[in-house]
Structure 1
């Protein structure tokens, strides 16, 4: 948030609100409202291109988006008046594009284990999939980081330049949003240049207090500054293979998508990790995800002219569970649906009440830790009317639909008392 030219404050319902300057005053927006503005513009552009109204859409999201982020994305579409036919993970969409591309050349004869490495501007996703020539896309495991991407690489360069400016001129520009904003634009351009050049120059007139700034950045320096980020990407790839129970030697194709995969160091690390395997770069990195989503949208719209009958079997990226609260004290996380479970899915668990316990507070969490404080709280509901003798049996049901949206219900089996909850506007995201 420190690098943004606008402020984030706590709005109604403890949700973050963006404060911007607009027409001489201040205006507050929820993230969903800002996203809706972007989606509305995209909708208008599409309608102008095809010459008719757009009412439905397939929307892609980072594979590692949690439940709240997926629900917020659907709310964005609702604000825009767009019906979401399906939410699909970005690497899965890229895999569809890959499959269709290879079906067209007639060289595909066997099932393939495909790893999709998707490194974009703000998020990193890695997915391990099995694809067969009939169009079945079976996701085995997903991983990633929703706060890792090109923006991070830009900021390491921005901070380095700010430090160099302070060394040369004794002035700290980090407290000046305008200077930092200009520097960020210049650093992003330098990052792009370094993907095809060994050196890049940053030259700025009157960056701060009338002082000019110029510096020459080498590709080696850029790689050094971001080495921890690049190494983290490879560790997440390794973890995804472990979760999918597939050895790296059994991966047939490594498909790279996303603008940040143009960084030479990222490609070198991937090639080294897969023991010299050639990366699949046939598709335009920034278009592969949209292309795959369009193919799925065509199928869902009833288009029978497709040469590849896409069938998706996706997974939930993060484990889901509960913590029951007794006498104001929370239990440890009890896992209900482990990560990388195929969706849609429905799982039921049985729990028992304790002596003198007449109600239970059920807190729904998302995360991998046994400690609830390390996980994300999605929502809470109370189930009353339990017998005080400690014999009440509770049936808890978790259901995840094809969009990755969770619904939870609890029932006291002897009385039939049932309490459902849709994890929708669940606290923060």
Structure 2
């Protein structure tokens, strides 16, 4: 198990270019299963989860080629469906939650799909009902083997249907959408997720010949087609990484420039950081965060404590709440962080409390942060990364802290952030990877 050794208290200065969006990449790569023709994707982040998915597709029979860094081609013209029943596939899929999104494309094109209950971050209950209820609405039969924890869906021909999703699940919407594009007739999806990832997936499918209307809204209408062609597609910059870098700059009092952020796809992320008092300049597609000695959290109009909560897009993405929480520890003022979606995602605050942060964990979904206004630095400590987003939040805390810190289980961070230690060291951080 690898470990980061961090020397805290350094001010950073320089440019950090965001990688391609991890969440989009997982969807887009699964979508290559929908066509027998070659598909080329650029700006792919070469991180653990994405590379695992590419390996899985390769073992399934997809011809994959790394053309250059971040650019891969895929051709799914010789798929071995029997591989889904193998022990090796089971091991691969269990370790990668994004593998659930191969189900929709395989069902649509080959009439069947099997997958074990996937893994991923340990951030609480993450049910899959939305995926499979939606596929059943399209005419698939569903079985769950409770003993082996295996899901299976089958259908000779999917048929378009009306459905109201019980939650605006991003991966659930993606799975149903990818199945519906090859179904017979019209599919109408209400309460669809509409994050930029879904918009990008929809546009890619349209470029392959799919007929989708309502892109960018929570109402998608799909007219099924008989087949899809190849295409080229470029993945957006990762908005979670952009937000992480904004938080890093604020916590460490650093001057950081973030180019190529895809500003029109960031939604309310910049404004939400401004509510914490973080100053930034937006010039074209670049965000510049100047060094700040302090930043003050806004209050509501009546003077009551500010609440920052996640919400379905265009609300604030839940993947950034860990960053907002850690940044608030050094702000002036107090804030209530309300994580509505996952009941275990705030449990990493005990590590911040050990570092000297003033945090009250109200319940599994809410934490009140009393900012230290940078008058008292966090202190270095030894900790473990519980998941991708909490891991980066702890790394930001360690970089701002007084003294040295160690973070173990950094494989979790590597799942979502490509060579993060090298990139931060290039602008003045001191992070050593051991193991």
- TM-score bracket relative to the smaller structure: under 0.3
Q: Greater relative contact order (Cα 8 A, min sep 6): structure 1 or 2?
A: 2
Larger Rg: 1
Larger proportion of strand = 1
TM-score, with structure 2 as normaliser: 0.27
